Amino acid sequence: MKKMVDLLSSPILVTIILGSVGLAIPAIDAGRREKGRDRNRLYSAIAFGALIVAIGIIIFRVLTGEVLPAVAFSQEVVVDDMFGSFFAIALLIVSIMVTASSWNYYKGRSNPAAYYSLILLSSIGMVVIAYSTDLVMLLVAWELMSLPTYALAGFSKRDPISNEAAIKYFMFGALSSAIIVLAIGLVYGITGTTNIGDSISALANLDASLMPIGLLAVALFIAGFGFKMGLVPFHMWLPDAYEGSPTTIGALLAAGTKKAGFAAAIRVIVLGMFALNLDWTLALAVVAVFTMTLGNLAALVQRSVPRILAYSSIAQAGYIMIGIALAPYSDQALSGSLFHIMNHAVMKSAGFIAAAAVATALAGYSLQNYRGLGRRMPITAIALSISLLALAGVPPLNGFWSKLVLFGAGINSGPIVEWGPWLAIAGVLNSALSLGYYAWIMRKMYMEDAPDMRRVKEPRAIVAVLIFAIVFMVGFGIWYTPLLNFASSAVPDLTSNITQASTITGGEGLRALPGGSGS
């Protein structure tokens, strides 16, 4: 009985449920003759129900404390830990918001069964990435997440912009996967294992003659995951892909797959660097500053709201990188990154889904379509405004607190590393800069009039999703403690799973990590 319970731990159950439903939807579609809207509503409801059950299983595990190791793959590939649960909840929230909003957005379009099936299959990949403790399983999950999104990005087959977005996304995605495969091959070649914990232990005791290969492997992991995270200089594909994709899929890419990239990076890159005693924190800090600055500056000159949100997503990746760069010097740094990841998942999803509501009702993405939106589509305008203000870090919304934790980590690290406070200052200045284009959108909505100011019917399903997002952003802005505690509990759980895998005898890097043996 105990072995059966282990086999059915949360990541395995989620995989079974989402995989079964994701494969069943096309089978159901093959046996139905009804076309159009009815099929879309049915498949949206089925996919939504499966995702609700999946996230309910994970939340139950977290609340009851029953985090059991999964032995379905020899107990070395998937670990039911708090870190994985944290990311799985964030990623499933995004998938749920995308699926629910597609009830209206995808109405009347072709191939709804394939659309929802691909979302569910991509969600499986994201969840398994969060729980993976083996590099091979990480790669398999990475491809399971990525391949469906390549098709989803080009789902508007008759739209040349969507086709271009899908091709660019596929080309850069394939390149990043190839880089990750090469990095895994190098790690296996010098350590003899693909288990993340065991390989980190081996890297900590690596012979000096093999150190250049270890350094190259870490650099390749940074480049490979950097494409998905949207870090500068690996960001060039992102604005075109997000703009050309269906707007709801833009939310999945910006708030979902991007966060899965951070989950993989934290598991592999951060702990691998500490095992090698690499002092690359300054380099990561420079990447963070360039990422947030370039993203905000580029967003200032855009005229398309999805494109503005895409460049904003690049800037937000820079803020998250602050915590990763400061991880060896501050106990709150990684907690701040995880906290902002959870907040950003909802904030960015709300922004793209509000844009999807405008595209559904007004058939346009240009800023000119947002003139007078405060009177024409009041709920959508309010939700979009709150989302933008939360992304900028305006109190008392949830984005303010996660940025405060990140910037506080930079200031508190001043006695240890002199550039820490400057990193915090860069974050504050960039947050102020972002208000320029966020306020520009809000000015269009509330201070300019459209040629036709008549009230427009707002899509009901999308409105329901936006109301949830408003409650989340305002509620966890007023009472942020549960989310921050959840993020803080995930950090030591991450390090404990690595140190429990095997004992590090020759390296001191892991002991510097918050939650490690030196904390």
Burial 348-363 (b: 16+ CB within 10 A, else e): bbbbbbbbbbbbbbbe
- Please state, rounded to an integer, the average pLDDT across all residues of the chain: 82
339-380 pLDDT per residue, tens: 999 999 999 999 999 998 888 888 777 888 888 888 888 999
**Residues belonging to the chain:** 519
Q: Which residue has the tokens 């200032």?
A: 300
Residue 235 pLDDT grade (very low, low, confident, very high; cuts 50, 70, 90) = confident
Provide the pLDDT for residue 72. Answer: 40
Provide the pLDDT for residue 508. Answer: 42
Provide the pLDDT for residue 407. Answer: 92
Residue 516 pLDDT grade (very low, low, confident, very high; cuts 50, 70, 90) = very low
Helices (H), ranges, 154-210: 160-191, 196-204
Q: What is the pTM of this model?
A: 0.88
CB-CB contact of 315 with 430 (8 Å): yes
**What DSSP letter does each residue of 36-87 carry, written as one string?**
THHHHHHHHHHHHHHHHHHHHHHHHHHHHT--PPP-TTTTTSB---HHHHHH
C-alpha 10/C-alpha 138 separation (Å) is 17
93-118 pLDDT per residue, tens: 999 999 999 888 887 777 888 899 99
CB-CB contact of 318 with 406 (8 Å): no
Q: How distant, in Å, are the alpha carbons of 13, 120, 182, 192, 258 from that of 18? A: 9, 6, 30, 33, 20
Q: Which residue has the tokens 């070649």?
A: 189
CB-CB contact of 185 with 136 (8 Å): no
Residue 35 pLDDT grade (very low, low, confident, very high; cuts 50, 70, 90) = low
pLDDT at 4 over 80: no
Provide the pLDDT for residue 274. Answer: 62
Provide the pLDDT for residue 504. Answer: 38
The pLDDT of 447-468, averaged and rounded, is: 86
Provide the pLDDT for residue 8. Answer: 54
Residue 250 pLDDT grade (very low, low, confident, very high; cuts 50, 70, 90) = confident
Q: How distant, in Å, are the alpha carbons of 37, 408, 411, 503 from that of 415? A: 61, 13, 9, 31
**DSSP bridge partners of 195:** 134
Q: Which helix (H) or strand (E) holds 318?
A: helix 305-325
Provide the pLDDT for residue 359. Answer: 84
The pLDDT of 406-428, averaged and rounded, is: 88
Q: Percent of the chain at pLDDT above 70? A: 86
Number of CB atoms found within 10 A of residue 518's CB: 11
pLDDT at 7 over 60: no
pLDDT at 130 over 70: yes
Range from 327-331, 397-401, 494-498 carrying the lowest mean pLDDT? 494-498
Compute CA 300 distance to the chain's CA centroid, rounded to the nearest angstrom.
23
Decide: helix, strand or coil at residue 157. Answer: coil
Decide: helix, strand or coil at residue 195. Answer: strand
Decide: helix, strand or coil at residue 502. Answer: coil
**What DSSP letter does each residue of 363-385 carry, written as one string?**
---BGGGGTTHHHHSHHHHHHHH
46-95 pLDDT per residue, tens: 999 999 999 998 888 888 765 544 444 444 566 677 888 899 999 999 99
Provide the pLDDT for residue 505. Answer: 34
Comparing CA positions, the residue from 351, 347, 350, 328 lying closest to residue 339 is 347
C-alpha 295/C-alpha 300 separation (Å) is 9
Provide the pLDDT for residue 173. Answer: 87
187-223 pLDDT per residue, tens: 888 888 888 877 877 877 777 788 888 888 888 888 8
**What DSSP letter does each residue of 395-415 carry, written as one string?**
TTSHHHHHHHHHHHHHHHTTT
pLDDT at 15 over 70: yes
308-348 pLDDT per residue, tens: 999 999 999 999 999 888 887 877 888 899 999 999 999 99
409 or 105, greater pLDDT: 409
CB-CB contact of 261 with 225 (8 Å): yes
Provide the pLDDT for residue 452. Answer: 76
Q: Which two tokens stand for residue 270?
A: 């951060």
